[in-house]
Amino acid sequence: MGFHSLSQRWQQNRRSLLWSERRDAFIFLLPWIIGFLVFTAGPMLASLYISFTSWEIVTPSRWVGLAQYTRMFNDDRFWLSLWNTSYYVFIGVPLHLFLALLAALAMNKDLRGIRFFRTAYYVPSLTPVVANSILWIWIFHPEWGLANGFLRWIGLEGLYWLQDPRLAKPAFILMSFWTIGGQMIILLAGLKGIPHSLYEAADIDGANNWQRFWHITLPLLTPALFFNLIIAIIGAFQVFTQAYIMTEGGPNHATLFYLLYLYRMAFENFRMGYASAMAWVLFLIVLVFTIIQFRLSDRWVFYEGDLRK
Tell me the pLDDT tens digit for each residue of 221-262. 999 999 999 999 999 999 999 999 999 999 999 999 999 999
How confident is residue 263, by pLDDT bands cut at 50, 70 and 90? very high
Indicate the burial class of 84 (C-beta count within 10 angstroms; 0-12, 13-18, 19 or more): buried
Angle between helices 165-176 and 76-107 (to 10 degrees): 40
pLDDT confidence of residue 111: 83
Separation CA 111–CA 117 (nearest Å) = 10
Q: Mean pLDDT over residues 131-151, rounded?
A: 94
Separation CA 215–CA 26 (nearest Å) = 46
Contact 295, 122 (CB under 8 A): no
In tens, the pLDDT along 175-195 reads 999 999 999 999 999 999 998
Judge whether residue 3 has pLDDT over 60.
no
Which of 283, 235, 241, 234 lies closest to 51 in space, CA to CA? 283
Judge whether residue 14 has pLDDT over 80.
no
Which of 165, 150, 149 lies closest to 87 in space, CA to CA? 165
Contact 69, 274 (CB under 8 A): no
Return the half-sphere exposure (C-beta side, CA atoms, 13 A cut-off) of residue 132: 18
Separation CA 150–CA 10 (nearest Å) = 78
Separation CA 63–CA 42 (nearest Å) = 19
**Cβ contacts of 111 within 8 Å, gap of 6 or more:** none
Judge whether residue 301 has pLDDT over 90.
yes
